Amino acid sequence: MNQQQKEAKYPVATDADSHRSTLTDDPSAHEAPAKSGHTIPVDKLLKTDNRSPLTTNVGQPIADDQNSLRAGERGPTLLEDFLLREKIQHFDHERIPERIVHARGAAAHGQFQLYKSLEELTTAKVLTDTSSPTPVFVRFSTVAGSRGSADTSRDVRGFAVKMYTPEGNWDIVGNNIPVFFIQDAIKFPDLIHAAKPEPDREIPQAATAHDTFWDFISLTPESMHMIMWIMSDRSIPRSFGMMEGFGVHTFRLINAQGKSTFVKFHWKPVLGVHSLVWDEAQQIAGKDPDFHRRDMSDSIKEGNFLEWELGIQTLAEEDEQKYDFDILDATKLWPEELLPVRRVGKMTLNRNPDNYFAETEQVAFNTTNVVPGISFSNDPLLQGRNFSYLDTQLSRLGSPNFTELPINRPVASVSNNQRDAQMRYTIDKGRVSYAPASLDGHSPDEVTPSQGGYKTYPEPVSGPKVRVRSRTFDDHYGQAKLFWNSMSGPEKEHIVKALQFELSKVETRSIRQRMLKNLQQVNKMLADQVAAALGEPETDGLARGSADSVEGAQKLADAMSETTASGGLQTSKALSMEGQPGGPKGRKVAILVADNIDVDQIVALKKALKKAGAIGELIGSSLGMLSESMEITKTFANTSPALFDAVFVPGGAGASTLKSKGDACVFLAQTYKHGKAIGVLGEAVELLTKALPEGAAFNKLGVVSEQNDSRQDQAIDQFVASVGSRHWKRPALELVAA
């Protein structure tokens, strides 16, 4: 490269673009791009300038970054080459340990806006001050897989929210399931060791379908309620924005009079709760392992922000013992029919992080990050978590100064006598780093509770020191039954199939049999259906019947159990995903195309989709322009129907060409099988006839087909309206070859 070429590639820096990121708190000192929402410390530290001259980490300008320093053109590399050594050594140390659980995650920035002050319940400013929104950073994760595993593994999803409040950071470190596997934190290492890949061969990755997991579960009946959730479609969400979030534990809110109220936190997605089916989840894991994180960042980029309402369930202190479940037991939920969820504010995720490592990887959540007016209950799982999070950040991020990392810094000012340690950035002035101190620049003053200082709720406690589990935690099956009873027929079928899949992968028969015994405690029909797939005898002489047959499906739908520990409820509507708000918003439609397809219909469809908040993507045999303004962005080879919520084929001669393409037929057949919306117009109706078996649904159950030109607009509207719905009961499903 001659000098002129070099200058063209690396333009000479001007004063305006030569600054680097610094640690000043003055936002005007940087040229951070315009952002929506509030500024938090991480924004102020954003390095926006990549056009300045290349330098080492101490600012020495670098003239040649392509060649190391050698003794002679073909000679050995010299130790003197400090440029080579700095670059390679920095690279050698780039990785930090991944999280011990929840290693794979994706995050976004946003804000929380409270609707109305909750001052009757709490003094927390974030829950009493409606005047301005609180900045938030939210990380979603899977639990068992490594950082490079797939998004759509069957797993709990972490739902960790960091609120940068004026009284310090408040973290709700929750999941998308309201209960947990175990009641006591002392069992957490066992649970995770059992769920993670088996230690001899490190198999399987990001999957619970293996012996050690089910061995532990089969010997841990308290996990059965959680198992019902995990085996339901809740553990394979359609997108992060279509999941509920739960704080899981019982917390306390404390008001200005010092009165405490028990509380559970919920995040209710505005788009409703929706899931994939297992077949899709497995395909997506291969076709697009980044499915969820891509969906979130694309949605935000397109202005389709993700939204949840914060919900609270509250319980008066004096009602602590009112129900037949213990509110300190994290394997139990509070049925919403008994204790309704009050929606108190809205969280909107509207900005993608700028740098995965600096923000999403380095963010550190902690259940002890609470603010005045919010406190803990004695839930033994929460108490153990309150120890674990700070501890894990120390080893993962390497120093107690991890709170100084930009993403972890509070907006509230920090002032104390803690000093030094590795990677300290703050430069504390003066001689005083102790209290009490009389010397100049004396220590920061304590803040009394009346001035807003944090005060632990003075709950009276007494009793002998004992290692026991309270008898009030004894009921392990009652709420598992409530969950089972509350499922619709198709939801029950999906649970059965998930258990059949998982347990059939367990190699040790005694573990499978022990699991069947546990399942019998939840529901005999459920256990029998699973036993059938495992080649085990029926348990109770109950007629087995395949869930695939109409009678079998009905029997399963009708199979109920007598509940306990559920406050007298036999079912709870809130537990089922059926009847959730739905529709096309946030959905993706595959539009199959070939040369000479009807472009006007695509224009009309895209317009209708846009209006409904959905998007359409063109899929053809190769990339390229279909018309002057319409681009084919995916090929049959690089995508899959599993990545879309619906499929549409316009009419025209091109639709007839698609008839000779097996790929197009598979696209339609699989979309039919997975119960998703299909729209075909004109000549494409014949394509659909070819793709589906005899007896399949046409013009009903989410399949829209219209040959008549004059009715195409209505057909498009009808198709768009059915995008986002699933039709589980389509005829001839067992004949579909896909």
Contacts to ligand HDD by CB under 6 A = 99-102, 105, 139, 141, 158, 160, 173-175, 180, 185, 188, 248, 330, 365, 381, 384-385, 388-389, 392
Q: Min. distance of Cβ 396 from ligand HDD in angstroms?
A: 7
Using the structure block, give the residue that is written with the tokens 């995720």. Answer: 349
Q: Min. distance of Cβ 361 from ligand HDD in angstroms?
A: 9
Task: Report the DSSP pairing between strands 374-376 and 588-592.
Answer: unpaired
Three-state SS for 371?
A: coil
- The conformation of residue 358, written as its DSSP 8-state character, comes to I
Catalytic residue among 102, 292, 476, 674: 102
Is 596 designated active site?
no
Q: How many helices (H) and strands (E) does the chain have?
A: 19, 18
Dihedrals phi, psi of 620, to nearest 5 degrees:
-140, -170
Tell me whether residue 384 or residue 731 sits nearer to ligand HDD (CB atom). 384
Tokens of 223: 């996990």
Report the candidate in 697, 713, 722, 580 with the shortest Cα–Cα distance to residue 646. Answer: 722
Q: Min. distance of Cβ 101 from ligand HDD in angstroms?
A: 5
Q: Min. distance of Cβ 182 from ligand HDD in angstroms?
A: 7
Give, in order, the Cα–Cα distances in Å from 272 to each of 239, 244, 581, 615, 655. Answer: 11, 8, 5, 18, 35
Tell me whether residue 105 or residue 586 sits nearer to ligand HDD (CB atom). 105
Tokens of 267: 């995040």
Catalytic residue among 30, 109, 169, 175: 175
- The conformation of residue 319, written as its DSSP 8-state character, comes to G
* CA–CA gap between residue 464 and residue 467 (Å, rounded): 10
Q: Min. distance of Cβ 269 from ligand HDD in angstroms?
A: 16
Q: Min. distance of Cβ 385 from ligand HDD in angstroms?
A: 5
Q: Min. distance of Cβ 144 from ligand HDD in angstroms?
A: 12
Tokens of 316: 């008066």
Q: Min. distance of Cβ 382 from ligand HDD in angstroms?
A: 7
**Is there a contact between 10 and 54 (Cβ–Cβ < 8 Å)?**
yes
Using the structure block, give the residue that is written with the tokens 């490190």. Answer: 202
Tell me whether residue 188 or residue 457 sits nearer to ligand HDD (CB atom). 188
Residue 392: is it exposed, middle or buried by C-beta count within 10 angstroms (0-12/13-18/19+)? Answer: middle
Q: Min. distance of Cβ 320 from ligand HDD in angstroms?
A: 19
Q: Which residues pair with 175 in a beta bridge?
A: 158, 246
Sign of CA dihedral 384, 389, 390, 393: positive
Residue nearest to ligand HDD (CB): 158
Tell me whether residue 174 or residue 489 sits nearer to ligand HDD (CB atom). 174
Residue 384: is it exposed, middle or buried by C-beta count within 10 angstroms (0-12/13-18/19+)? Answer: middle
Tell me whether residue 136 or residue 511 sits nearer to ligand HDD (CB atom). 136
Tell me whether residue 381 or residue 592 sits nearer to ligand HDD (CB atom). 381
Residue 465: is it exposed, middle or buried by C-beta count within 10 angstroms (0-12/13-18/19+)? Answer: exposed
**Is there a contact between 310 and 343 (Cβ–Cβ < 8 Å)?**
yes
* CA–CA gap between residue 214 and residue 281 (Å, rounded): 21
Tell me whether residue 10 or residue 188 sits nearer to ligand HDD (CB atom). 188
* CA–CA gap between residue 403 and residue 164 (Å, rounded): 13
- The H or E element spanning position 558 is helix 550-558
Give the torsion through C-alpha atoms of 683, 687, 688, 690, to 10 deg. 140
**Is there a contact between 259 and 317 (Cβ–Cβ < 8 Å)?**
yes
**Is there a contact between 222 and 153 (Cβ–Cβ < 8 Å)?**
no
- CA 433-438-439 angle, to 5 degrees, is 65
**Is there a contact between 567 and 577 (Cβ–Cβ < 8 Å)?**
no
Amino acid at 139: R
**Is there a contact between 590 and 647 (Cβ–Cβ < 8 Å)?**
yes
Is 102 designated active site?
yes
Report the candidate in 453, 415, 451 with the shortest Cα–Cα distance to residue 432. Answer: 415
Q: Min. distance of Cβ 42 from ligand HDD in angstroms?
A: 15
Q: Min. distance of Cβ 184 from ligand HDD in angstroms?
A: 8
Q: Min. distance of Cβ 147 from ligand HDD in angstroms?
A: 12
Report the candidate in 309, 262, 312, 307 with the shortest Cα–Cα distance to residue 118. Answer: 312
Amino acid at 592: L
Half-sphere exposure of 580 (CA within 13 A, CB side): 23
Give, in order, the Cα–Cα distances in Å from 157 to each of 149, 240, 582, 736. Answer: 13, 9, 21, 32
**H-assigned helices in 265-313:** 278-287, 291-301
- The H or E element spanning position 107 is strand 105-114
Q: Min. distance of Cβ 682 from ligand HDD in angstroms?
A: 49
* CA–CA gap between residue 399 and residue 169 (Å, rounded): 19
Tell me whether residue 405 or residue 506 sits nearer to ligand HDD (CB atom). 405
Contacts of 149 (CB under 8 A, 6+ apart): 103, 104, 142, 205, 206, 289
- Residues that are catalytic: 102, 175
